[in-house]
């Protein structure tokens, strides 16, 4: 049986957590049953709708011979029968390869407001090099985002 914590003990333990972990816990507390979609999930759905509006198209060879190929970390993956390459909804997007997709909406807000890299990194609890890389992904993203 788990011992009950006092409010002060709970707050002290919560403050000791990494800021990203704190944000994830707060998001779960705000939405305990997951009935509302996160901003990232709705972005991915919008992207999927735009990318596959006229049927599936491989982002590598533009073939329409695409089949679903299971999931990876909760994200749908696809396989192209023409070039035999695998891809996901995030292939050729700034979100590709990110470890903190839930931080992107707030990061984008900070970027639009013109906040510094250091200030943004501190706010989100990630390294300045991460924010620098994200900023460049966004700035270079239009060139790599391939929508049919």
Model confidence over 51-102: pLDDT tens digits?
777 677 888 898 889 898 998 877 889 999 999 999 988 888 777 888 888 7
Q: Supply the DSSP string of 21-69, one letter for each residue.
A: HHHHHHHHHHSTT--SPPHHHHHHHHHHHHHTTTS---TTT--S-EEEE
pLDDT band, residue 147 (cuts 50/70/90) = very low
Q: Cα(29)–Cα(37) distance, rounded to whole angstroms? A: 14
pLDDT band, residue 117 (cuts 50/70/90) = very high
């Amino acid at each position: 049986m788990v011992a009950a914590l006092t409010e002060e003990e709970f707050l002290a333990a919560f403050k000791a957590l990494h800021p990203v972990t704190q944000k994830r816990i707060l998001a779960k507390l705000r939405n305990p049953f997951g009935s509302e979609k996160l901003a990232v999930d709705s972005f991915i759905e919008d992207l999927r709708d735009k990318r596959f509006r006229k049927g599936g198209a491989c982002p590598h060879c533009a073939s329409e011979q695409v089949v679903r190929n299971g999931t990876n970390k909760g994200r749908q993956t696809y396989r192209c029968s023409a070039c035999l390459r695998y891809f996901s909804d995030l292939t050729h997007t700034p979100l590709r390869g990110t470890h903190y997709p839930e931080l992107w909406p707030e990061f984008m807000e900070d970027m639009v407001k013109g906040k510094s890299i250091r200030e943004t990194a501190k706010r989100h609890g990630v390294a300045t090099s991460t924010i620098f890389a994200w900023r460049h992904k966004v700035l270079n993203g239009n060139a790599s985002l391939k929508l049919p």
